[in-house]
Amino acid sequence: MKICIVTPDIIGPIRNGGIGTHAAMLCRLLKEHELTLLFTSEEERGADSGWKERYREQGVQVVCADELKNRDPYAKWAPWEDWFFERSRRIYEFLKERDFDLVHFQDWHANGFFSIRARRTGIGLANTRLVVTMHSPNEWSRQGMREWPRHVLVDMKLSMAERYCCEHADEVIAPSRHMFDWAAEQGWRLPEHRQVVPYPFFSSAGKVTMSATDPGHVIFFGRLETRKGLGIFIDGLRMYLRSGPDRGITRVTFLGKAGQHKGEPSQDHIDALAREQPGLQIDSVTDLDSASALKFIAESGGIVFIPSLLDNCPFTVIECIERGLPFFAAASGGIPEMADATCLFAPTREGVAEALGKRSMDFSSVHHLYSAADCNQRWLALHEDWSQSSAEKPAPEGTPQVSICIPYYNHPVYLPQLLASIAALQYANFEVIVCNDGSTQPEAKAVFEQMREQYGERGWQFLSKENGGVGHTRNFAASHAKGEFIVFMDADNLAKPDMLDIMVRAIGLSGADCLTCYFLAFETDEPPRGLEDLSYLYRPLGGGTAFSILDNTFGDANFIVRRSAFEAVGGFTTQRDASFEDWELLFKLYHAGYDTDVIPQELFWYRHLESSFSRITHHYANHQRVMNCALGDSSPLTRELISNFAIPLYYRYLELERKLGKEGIENPTPRHVPWHKHLYRFYRHLIGDPKYKKKRRS
C-alpha cells in the first residue's frame, strides 16, 4: 500500500511525546509499505539535525509542511484564515497530488480537517482511506491541565475542527476505550467504523544493565505539568513525608520535559519542594529522549511514579511494562486498561501517598494487560484488512430533482443575470421557482414578466404575492417545490455552472441533510469577469459549536437541503424587522439533530450590496434573532451571560482586531495595551464599575 503518516509530532524534530512516539512506531511497523512521513509542525530548538536522514534510511520518504506550496488560487483574498485551516488545506493539496491508498491523521491540530471534509463531500481523495487516531484533542488536554483556553476564539474553532476529523473520518482508532467514552460524554458522534487498538511499540533502549531496585529513590516519569500529575505528586510526597519520622526516601528525580503547573514553570514548584526538604536529593532531568530516560531509570533502580490526572495510553506506562521496570500509575483515563491493578492508585494526593507506602512490594508477580507484541500484530492485521478492501465510496445513483427557489424584490438589473447563470447549469434535473415578493418598482415588475415569458417554456414557475419579507417568500416558493432537494438563491447572486452537480453529489455521498458552500464575493453591477472582480471570500468553518452563536460558521442561504428536513423544522421564520434568517434556519436544523456541513469549494458568486437587507437592518436585532433560536429553552442566566457578556465581548474583540490586526492582537507590541486588558476594561464598564466609566469632556 501507498501510505502517508501526517503528524505534527514525531520523534526526531520533537524530542519526545506520545503522538510523536506513536508516529515513529508506526513508521517502523509499516516499513514493508511505500511510506511517506509528512511532518506538519516546527522542529524544537536543539532537535536532532539528522532526523530526516535516519527516517530515509528506514525507507521512509520525509516531507515537511514548510515545503508545501500554497496552491489555493484565492490565497491572497484569505489572509484571515486560522493557521490550522490554512495548514489543513495545504496538506490536502499535497495528498491529492500523491494519490495515497491510506492516510493516517492524528486528532491533535486537525491536520485532516480539509481532507476529510473534501472526501466526505466528493471534492477529492475519492480513493484514499482517511484514518484518524484519537490521542489528545485540545478540549481533552485542557480538562486534564485544568486550565482555560489561552486564545479563546481560535481554540474554540480548533476544537471544532478536531472533533470534525474524528466524527467524519473513514476509520477512527483510539488506543484506549477511555477516549471513546470521553468523546461520548462530550456529545461527539463518532463513526460506525471505530475500534480500540493500543499503541504499537518497539523498544529502542538497547541493552541496559538493570540495577537492583532502590525503594529509596522515587522517580516522577512524564512531562512536568498539571495533566501528568505534577501537583498531586508533590502534594502526595509532602503528605507521605509528614506521616512519619523515617519514610525511607532519600532521592526524588523529576524525569520529563519541562512544562507548567498552575500557570507557572514546573521548576518553580520543584524548587519549592527542595527548599522544604533539604534532607532529600531532588533533581530535575528534562533533556533526555525516551531511550536515555529508560536507561536512566534502569541504571538508577528507582521506583517510577506516573500520577497522571488524565491520560490516554501513555508511553511511559508502555515503556515500563515492556522493560520490566517497577512502577505505580494513577488509575486515570486509559491506564487501567494497560496495567495490573496492584500497581494503580487513585489520581489524588492521598492516592500518591498511599502508593509511596507500597514501594517495597514484589513487582515480579504483577501481570500487566498491555503487550507490545499483541498490539503490533493487531495494527498489522488492520492494514492487511484495509489493503484488501476498497476505500472508494459508491457514487449516488440517478439525478434527483432539485428545486431552485428564488425570492425576488426590486432587483430588475440582477434577476436576468441570475436566471442566465441557472440556465447554464450543467445538471439536468432541476426546476426553478421565482417568487415576486410584491415588487414596487415598475421596472422590476416589467422585468419579472419578461423573465416569465423568456423561461416559461422551460416549465419554470413565476409566482407573485403580496410583500411578506424574504423568509416568507422563500417559504412560499418552497411550498410549490416538487424536488427531493431545495436550493435557495438570492436574486442578485450568480450560480457557477457546476454548482448543482457538486451539491447533489456531495449531499448524496455525505448523507447530510443540508450543505452550504464557499462563495466568491463581487461588487459590480455586471457579472464578474474573473478574479479581477473578486472582493473577498467566504469560507465558513461549519456549525456545531458555541462559537456558532457568536459568528455565522454555518454558511450562506445559498445551500442545498433535503425538502423533508426543511419542512420538518418549519422553514424560515418570517420576522420582518431583522435579517440573519439563513443563520437562524441552519441553527434550527442543527438543533433538531439534522446533519449540516460545508462543501469546501466556491460554488457561486455573491453580489455584495450595501443596500442588502442584512446591512440596512440593525445588527443587534439580527443577532438577537439568532441567539433566541440558538439558546432555545436555556435558563435566563445562560441567556443573560451570552447576550450581555459573551456577544458584546466578541464584538469588542473584533473592533480591536480591526485596529491592531490579527498578529497585533495575539502578539501586542509594548506600546499596545494587550487585548485581554481592553476586554477587562470593557467588562468593568458593563457592570458599572465607577473606575472604568468614560470621562466626560468639558
* Sites in the chain below the pLDDT cut of 70: 204-208, 611, 613-616, 662-676, 693-698
Q: Angle at the Cα of 639 (from 635 to 643), degrees rounded to 5? A: 175
The grid coordinates listed for 442 are 415598475
Q: How far apart are the first and last CA of the chain?
A: 77
Beta bridge partners of 465: 437
Return all residues near 145 (Cβ < 8 A) that are at least 6 apart.
Answer: 225, 226, 227
Element (H, E) at 565: helix 563-568
The grid coordinates listed for 213 are 531496585
Range 217-375: architecture per CATH: 3-Layer(aba) Sandwich (3.40)
Is the separation of the CB atoms in 487 and 504 below 8 Å? no
Instruction: Give the residue among 637, 625, 618 at the shortest CA–CA distance from 580.
Output: 625
What's the confidence (pLDDT) of residue 666? 63
Element (H, E) at 641: helix 636-641
Is the separation of the CB atoms in 303 and 215 below 8 Å? yes
Residue labelled with grid coordinates 455521498: 509
- C-alpha distances out from residue 396 to 426, 485, 563, Å: 17, 14, 18
Is the separation of the CB atoms in 124 and 600 below 8 Å? no
* 25/131 Cα distance (integer angstroms): 16
Is the separation of the CB atoms in 160 and 541 below 8 Å? yes
Q: Angle at the Cα of 298 (from 297 to 300), degrees rounded to 5? A: 65
* 447/340 Cα distance (integer angstroms): 79
* 434/456 Cα distance (integer angstroms): 11
Q: Where are the beta strands (DSSP E) in 331-460?
A: 344-345, 402-408, 430-437
State the CB neighbour count (10 A cutoff) for residue 292. Answer: 15
Q: Which is it for strands 494-495 and 344-345: parallel, antiparallel or unpaired?
A: unpaired
Beta bridge partners of 407: 435
Phi and psi, residue 68, nearest 5°: -80, 130
Q: Angle at the Cα of 321 (from 319 to 322), degrees rounded to 5? A: 65
Phi and psi, residue 287, nearest 5°: -115, 20
- C-alpha distances out from residue 673 to 152, 407, 443, 476, Å: 18, 47, 54, 52
Instruction: Give the residue among 489, 512, 517 at the shortest CA–CA distance from 589.
Output: 512
Domain with CATH 3.90.550.10 in the chain: 402-631
Instruction: Give the residue among 400, 419, 398 at the shortest CA–CA distance from 461.
Output: 419
Q: What is the DSSP letter of 674?
A: P
Instruction: Give the residue among 158, 172, 174 at the shortest CA–CA distance from 113.
Output: 158
The grid coordinates listed for 640 are 443573560
Helix/strand/coil (H/E/C) assignment for every residue in 6-62:
EECCCECCECCCHHHHHHHHHHHHCCCCEEEEEECCCCCCCCCCCHHHHHHHCCEEE
Is the separation of the CB atoms in 78 and 101 below 8 Å? no
* 563/552 Cα distance (integer angstroms): 22
Helix intervals (H) in 411-560? 415-423, 442-455, 470-478, 499-510, 547-550
Please give the radius of gyration of the chain, using alpha carbons only, rounded to the nearest integer: 30
Residue labelled with grid coordinates 466556491: 602
Displacement of CA 545 from its chain's centroid (Å):
10
Q: Which amino acid makes up residue 60?
A: V
Interior/surface letters 552-577, b for 16+ CB within 10 angstroms, e for the rest: bbbbbbbbbbbbebbeebebbbebee
Is the separation of the CB atoms in 533 and 432 below 8 Å? no
Residues across the chain: 698
Instruction: Give the residue among 384, 397, 555, 412 at the shortest CA–CA distance from 484.
Output: 397
* 108/135 Cα distance (integer angstroms): 7
Displacement of CA 53 from its chain's centroid (Å):
32
Domain with CATH 3.40.50.2000 in the chain: 2-196, 217-375
* 6/13 Cα distance (integer angstroms): 14
The SS3 call for residue 214 is coil
In CATH terms, the fold of domain 2-196 is Rossmann fold (3.40.50)
Domain 402-631 bears CATH identifier 3.90.550.10: yes
